[in-house]
């Protein structure tokens, strides 16, 4: 087989490109004779993107280009590309002072320009790469996948070159079939200009795959910039321990991208992979699972893995992950601390049990608190990021007061300086229950463009509906004015000053008759 595969990770903040690393590792295991190369535009300065890509293609002359596109959506409460998108949007939508509104509009324009600029740039890089590769191999093909493509695969068909294969979710089986010359039409993909994405394709189950430890001895032979991620001590290198999430949270698309079936990677293989990174000096790991402990029935599995990590003697590591803190027990808490967990994110979204049920999140907030106490008792003394998204559905002043009560209790448990409230507003994503809810309630019309950042669409996609939308807008603007560097805590304080704090018991109880989810 004379294929030569070039993996191009499209420009991205320097997050370890675990997706292309796993894909190339898998292909090497199946076809050891195929030549491969990884080229990560995340390590290249923007002005050099085109030149560097050309040079790489001229040298390697690939027959297959595998483009990996990680993120597109940029609403975040933190400074991002071209400014703080959330702040700009809120200044534009909600500021009463015309000067602030103008600043928001100008900032928003900057963010919008950066956003569309990045989209066009990435599409341009795909076209350019393919055209250049065809100078050497007229049959060269492009396959495009990754997190961003999985979310926006339907919209991207208009922007990509004819014949490009667009892939949703994990790509190992698709690439394998493509290279074997087999029919790949039953994989979650379509070919631009030739086939249409199937209706609800993202909801199809991914083909199961037994994951083995990534072979980093091989990876370093095909990736000249691998060292980039080894030099800095603050990178958390991705290691996947499982795929899939069985939950149904109304705004989340992970559960369809990865599928509801949780597939666990063998513990020995995970530890073997970590060991190879450890031997190269890595001490910080991010378990990239949608959730590290997706449900109670996976507690035993998490314990098993952490015991193996402990037994491996890698005693000076740190790790972080998304943790559903309702799925802990004292033994697991103890192991988490002993194996070096020093940061985790809990996405409870609201501190009101009633709303948590309405959003179909399956969390019991009382259990979360108890488990957090166990974690603290086990000696956890590091940072917890608690993700709150206000105003998703049926938020009221009462449920806000409950969220304050809940947050204050977390602060009592871990210490106020250790609990960071990350205030998000949901960026509405296609194929979620929230999208259905938006259709049913005439907030969006089918056929809308979820990638649009035009102000009239963006206002609906950046989910903050009235009647409370303007109230939250005003609170956030006040927080940015007063304390931009500690935005989350400031928002919580302002909300408490304005609305007060409910008794904790109220936050924790959701009367049965109120549980009927509207979404």
SS3 67: strand
# residues contacting ligand SF4 (CB under 6 A): 10
Structure tokens at 144: 């495009």
Percent composition of the chain: helix, strand, coil (DSSP 3-state, to 5): 50, 15, 40
Q: How far apart are the first and last CA of the chain?
A: 51
Cβ at position 173, least distance to ligand B12 in Å = 9
Cβ at position 8, least distance to ligand B12 in Å = 9
Binding mask 341-370 for ligand SF4 (x = CB under 6 A): ------x-----------------------
Identity of the residue, 88 or 321, whose beta carbon is nearer to ligand SF4 in the bound complex: 321
Q: Based on the shown chain and the rule CB under 6 A, indicate whether residue 252 belongs to the binding site for ligand SF4.
A: yes
Structure tokens at 345: 């994110």
How many alpha carbons fall within 13 Å on the CB side of residue 301? 18
Q: Which does 146 bind (CB under 5 to 8 A by kind): ligand B12, ligand SF4, none?
A: ligand B12
Distance CA(39)–CA(223), nearest Å, equals 7
∠ CA 508-509-510, rounded to 5° = 125
Binding mask 429-468 for ligand B12 (x = CB under 6 A): x---------------------------------------
Q: Which of residues 407-466 bind ligand SF4 (CB under 6 A)?
A: none
Number of other CB atoms surrounding residue 300 within 10 Å: 12
Identify the residue among 70, 188, 324, 376 touching ligand B12 (CB under 6 A): 70
Identify the residue among 24, 36, 63, 68 touching ligand B12 (CB under 6 A): 68
Q: Based on the shown chain and the rule CB under 6 A, indicate whether residue 22 belongs to the binding site for ligand B12.
A: yes
Distance CA(314)–CA(317), nearest Å, equals 6
Structure tokens at 352: 């009101």
Q: Based on the shown chain and the rule CB under 6 A, indicate whether residue 254 belongs to the binding site for ligand SF4.
A: yes
∠ CA 19-23-24, rounded to 5° = 120
Identify the residue among 239, 249, 346, 502 touching ligand SF4 (CB under 6 A): 249
Cβ at position 354, least distance to ligand B12 in Å = 26
Cβ at position 62, least distance to ligand B12 in Å = 13
Q: Which does 403 bind (CB under 5 to 8 A by kind): ligand B12, ligand SF4, none?
A: none
What is the chain's Cα-based Rg?
23
Distance CA(385)–CA(363), nearest Å, equals 17
Q: Which does 172 bind (CB under 5 to 8 A by kind): ligand B12, ligand SF4, none?
A: ligand B12
Instruction: List helix spans (H) across 67-222.
Output: 85-94, 98-136, 147-156, 172-180, 216-222
Q: Which does 122 bind (CB under 5 to 8 A by kind): ligand B12, ligand SF4, none?
A: none
Q: Based on the shown chain and the rule CB under 6 A, indicate whether residue 23 belongs to the binding site for ligand B12.
A: yes
Q: Based on the shown chain and the rule CB under 6 A, indicate whether residue 255 belongs to the binding site for ligand SF4.
A: yes
Identify the residue among 18, 245, 336, 384 touching ligand SF4 (CB under 6 A): 245
Structure tokens at 488: 């989350």
Q: Which of residues 220-259 bind ligand B12 (CB under 6 A)?
A: 236, 238, 240, 253-254, 257-258
Give the interface segment with ligand B12, choosing from 31-39, 62-70, 299-307, 484-492 (CB under 6 A): 62-70
Q: Based on the shown chain and the rule CB under 6 A, indicate whether residue 145 belongs to the binding site for ligand B12.
A: yes
DSSP-derived letter for residue 12 is -
Cβ at position 326, least distance to ligand SF4 in Å = 10
Identify the residue among 84, 164, 167, 353 touching ligand B12 (CB under 6 A): 167
Q: Which does 255 bind (CB under 5 to 8 A by kind): ligand SF4, ligand B12, none?
A: ligand SF4
**Residues contacting residue 189 through CB under 8 Å, at least 6 positions apart:** 165, 166, 167, 168, 174
Cβ at position 295, least distance to ligand SF4 in Å = 9
Q: Which does 291 bind (CB under 5 to 8 A by kind): ligand SF4, ligand B12, none?
A: ligand SF4
Sheet with strand 318-322: strands edge to edge = 237-239, 284-287, 318-322, 341-349, 383-389, 419-424
Nearest Cα neighbor of 264 from 238, 286, 295, 242 is 242
SS3 123: helix
Distance CA(190)–CA(192), nearest Å, equals 6
Q: Which of residues 84-123 bind ligand B12 (CB under 6 A)?
A: none
**Residues contacting residue 77 through CB under 8 Å, at least 6 positions apart:** 84, 86, 422, 423, 424, 487, 488
Distance CA(174)–CA(162), nearest Å, equals 18
The residues of the shown chain that bind ligand SF4, judged by CB under 6 A, are 245, 247, 249, 252, 254-255, 290-291, 324, 347
The residues of the shown chain that bind ligand B12, judged by CB under 6 A, are 13, 15-16, 18-20, 22-23, 66-68, 70-74, 76, 143-148, 150-151, 167, 170-172, 174-175, 236, 238, 240, 253-254, 257-258, 286, 288, 290, 429
């Amino acid at each position: 087989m004379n294929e030569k595969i070039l993996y191009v990770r499209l420009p991205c903040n320097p997050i370890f490109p675990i997706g292309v690393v796993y894909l190339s590792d898998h292909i090497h295991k199946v076809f050891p004779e195929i030549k491969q190369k990884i080229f990560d535009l995340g390590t290249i300065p923007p002005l050099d993107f085109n030149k560097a890509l050309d040079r790489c293609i001229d040298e390697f002359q690939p027959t297959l280009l595998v483009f990996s596109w990680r993120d597109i959506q940029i609403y975040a409460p933190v400074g991002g590309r071209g400014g703080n998108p959330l702040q700009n949007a809120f200044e534009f939508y909600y500021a009463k002072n015309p000067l602030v509104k103008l600043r928001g509009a100008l900032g928003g324009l900057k963010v919008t320009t950066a956003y569309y600029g990045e989209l066009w740039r990435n599409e341009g890089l795909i076209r350019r790469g393919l055209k250049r590769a065809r100078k050497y191999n007229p049959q060269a093909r492009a396959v495009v996948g990754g997190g961003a493509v999985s979310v926006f695969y339907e919209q991207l068909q208009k922007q990509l070159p004819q014949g490009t294969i667009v892939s949703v979710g994990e790509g190992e089986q698709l690439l394998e079939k493509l290279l074997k010359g087999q029919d790949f039409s039953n994989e979650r993909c379509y070919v631009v200009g030739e086939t249409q994405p199937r209706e609800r394709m993202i909801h199809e189950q991914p083909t199961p795959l037994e994951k083995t430890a990534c072979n980093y001895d091989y990876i370093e032979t095909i990736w000249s910039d691998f060292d980039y991620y080894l030099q800095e001590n603050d990178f958390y290198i991705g290691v996947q321990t499982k795929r899939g999430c069985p939950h149904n949270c109304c705004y989340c698309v992970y559960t369809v991208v990865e599928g509801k079936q949780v597939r666990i990677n063998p513990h020995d293989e995970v530890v073997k992979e970590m060991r190879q990174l450890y031997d190269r000096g890595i001490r910080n790991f991010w378990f990239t699972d949608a959730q590290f402990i997706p449900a109670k029935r996976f507690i035993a599995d998490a314990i098993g893995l952490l015991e193996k990590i402990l037994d491996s003697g890698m005693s000076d590591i740190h790790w972080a992950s998304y943790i559903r803190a309702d799925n802990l027990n004292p033994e697991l808490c103890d192991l988490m601390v002993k194996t070096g967990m020093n940061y985790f994110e809990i996405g409870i979204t609201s501190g009101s049990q009633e709303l948590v049920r309405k959003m179909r999140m399956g969390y019991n907030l009382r259990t979360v608190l108890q488990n957090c106490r166990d974690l603290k008792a086990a000696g956890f003394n590091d940072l917890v990021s608690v993700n709150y998204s206000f105003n998703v559905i049926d938020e009221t002043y009462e449920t806000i007061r409950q969220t304050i009560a809940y947050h204050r209790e977390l602060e009592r448990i871990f210490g106020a300086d250790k609990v960071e409230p990350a205030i998000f507003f949901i960026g509405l994503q296609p194929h979620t229950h929230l999208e259905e809810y938006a259709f049913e309630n005439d907030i969006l019309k089918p056929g809308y463009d979820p990638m649009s950042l035009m102000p009239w669409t963006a206002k609906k996609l950046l989910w903050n509906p009235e009647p409370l939308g303007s109230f939250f807008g005003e609170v956030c603007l006040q927080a940015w004015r007063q304390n931009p560097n500690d935005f989350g805590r400031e928002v919580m304080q302002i909300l408490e000053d304005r609305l007060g704090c409910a008794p904790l018991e109220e936050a924790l109880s959701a009367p049965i008759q109120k549980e009927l989810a509207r979404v």
